[in-house]
Amino acid sequence: MRDSCGKDRDDGRGGHQRGGASGGILKGTIKMKILWLCNIILPDFCECFDLNKTMAGGWISGMLQELEKREDMQIALCFPIIDENRVKQGRFHGHQFFSFQCDLYSDDYIYADENLIIQMQKIVSDYEPDIIHIWGTEYPHTYGMVEACKREGLLNRVVINIQGLVSIYSKHFLLGIPQRYITKMDVEGTSLAQKKNLFVKRGILETKAIKNVKYVIGRTEWDRACTYWINPQIHYFFGGEILRSVFYENCGSWKEESCRRHMIFVSQGDYSIKGMHFLLEGCKLLRQKYADLQIIVAGRDIFCAGELTTYAQLLKELMREGDLEGHVQFVGKKDESQMCQYYQQANVFVMPSVIENSPNSLCEALMTGVPVVAANVGGISSIIRHGKEGFLYQSDAPYMMAYYIDLIFARKIDIELLKVNEVNRAMEFNSVYKCSEQTMAAYHIIEKG
């Protein structure tokens, strides 16, 4: 058979007979039907929409690859698409998929209007899922799906996977930003204050969605606390995230003798939450001691455009003040193999964010064994124990960041012991088997009601 993307496929049905939302699982006859709502089109499905393959959502793709091996369930996926003419549904890689129209990148996308809810309701009605798994709360379609499931009588079958929480992130958005930059308008026609306000607005529906559901999946003390204060009756499942396969294949591959001395690697630094401004303040101190200091920044290159954003202007000023011009390189978005190579080359991986939950980049770094220095924000202390798997510091104290980086550069710590501890922690926290079993256990509890 051939699917809607013109690819040969198995029909993926495996003898499935529909028994209704409360049908349960009978081996060989009935499969649990799961509907995943995603914030992006997963890389393997981009060609269905005539889009270039993205490099995002690795934790979702990793979980999909594991769960699709099971014979007692089937997963359909639901993706957002900007262009209404590209909205489609079909089958690909043995999975049914749906899509809905919305503009994730519009500052006006802060409401779940009736049209969005109707789109979600039709998808739910067509697929008749046993479980609806929503990946993330950052956009209005999360609430749109929650409301659609409420109308379909499936609200108790919804589980939200906590990624970040924009309602909480907004409280930290401007930490360390000088006042003169907060209200300054940039080439994008917005100020940092307005960008923070977008998080605040989207956080309203995020909070409403969490208040309405019975179940969430998280993985840190931070996301457990945050969801508890939003909805004290919430049932919290612990569910780890699966990394991209290249990092398991290169587990413990970092070697001190082959790394680039005094090279700092940062996975992202394009907006204020990622804390690049604090990193540059800390590197101003390091520059006094290490003339060959190099800072490599992956992710969106905010210096490639002709006119700089306000945040890029701030970074440029800090580079100039810290004698760091020519020592900072934004290398753009990289695929998993390229990211792995940067971790292997780095002398240290730094995560200077002002707020995070459980960033996969940090877990990827731990898996390779590169020394890690991270701001002690959000859920980070649930992943790293200070002095054992890395070093944690107060996010607005970049002098402490610089101190720990110097310990690593100057070999004042047992680098090999640190590496062993990191890899062991990563294999535990991001165990493929554990993470997939945790998710399946949650599904079974939800399905039983």
**Residue ranges per structural domain of the chain:** 32-242+432-448, 246-429
Please give the pLDDT value at position 375: 98
- Taking residue 320's Cβ as centre, other Cβ atoms within 10 Å add up to 11
What confidence tier does 116 reach under pLDDT thresholds 50, 70, 90?
very high
- What percent of the chain shows pLDDT beyond 70? 93
What is the side-by-side strand order in the sheet with 328-332?
328-332, 294-298, 263-266, 348-351, 372-375, 391-393
Write out pLDDT tens, residues 144-175: 999 999 999 999 999 999 999 999 999 999 99
What is the side-by-side strand order in the sheet with 131-135?
90-92, 95-101, 73-81, 32-37, 131-135, 158-161, 215-218, 235-238
The whole-number average pLDDT for the span 51-55 is: 71
In 3D space, the residue among 348, 377, 199 whose CA is nearest the CA of residue 282 turns out to be 348
Architecture of domain 32-242+432-448: 3-Layer(aba) Sandwich (3.40)
What confidence tier does 7 reach under pLDDT thresholds 50, 70, 90?
very low
Write out pLDDT tens, residues 65-75: 899 888 889 99
Please give the pLDDT value at position 264: 98
Write out pLDDT tens, residues 236-284: 999 999 999 999 999 999 999 999 999 999 999 999 999 999 999 999 9
- Same topology for domains 32-242+432-448 and 246-429, yes or no? yes
- What percent of the chain shows pLDDT beyond 90? 77
Q: Are 117 and 433 spatial neighbours (Cβ–Cβ below 8 Å)?
A: no
Q: Which residues contact 241 (CB under 8 A, 6 or more apart)?
A: 59, 62, 63, 219, 358, 360, 363, 430, 435
Please give the pLDDT value at position 86: 85
What confidence tier does 89 reach under pLDDT thresholds 50, 70, 90?
confident
The whole-number average pLDDT for the span 196-223 is: 97
Q: Which residues contact 437 (CB under 8 A, 6 or more apart)?
A: none
Please give the pLDDT value at position 84: 84
What confidence tier does 2 reach under pLDDT thresholds 50, 70, 90?
very low
pLDDT of 15 over the 50 cut? no
What confidence tier does 94 reach under pLDDT thresholds 50, 70, 90?
confident
The first and second tokens of residue 162, run together, are 């906590």
pLDDT of 12 over the 60 cut? no
Least confident of 70-74, 153-157, 363-367, 421-425: 70-74
Please give the pLDDT value at position 242: 95
Please give the pLDDT value at position 24: 42
Higher pLDDT, 104 or 278: 278
pLDDT of 20 over the 60 cut? no
Mean pLDDT of all residues belonging to the chain = 90
pLDDT of 371 over the 50 cut? yes
The whole-number average pLDDT for the span 401-416 is: 97
In 3D space, the residue among 181, 132, 187, 188 whose CA is nearest the CA of residue 161 turns out to be 132
pLDDT of 133 over the 50 cut? yes
pLDDT of 408 over the 90 cut? yes
Q: What is the CATH number of domain 246-429?
A: 3.40.50.2000
pLDDT of 58 over the 70 cut? yes
| Global confidence as pTM | 0.90
pLDDT of 18 over the 50 cut? no
Torsion region of 262: left, alpha or beta (phi above 0 gives left; psi -120 to 50 gives alpha): left
The whole-number average pLDDT for the span 309-335 is: 95
Please give the pLDDT value at position 5: 53
Please give the pLDDT value at position 428: 96
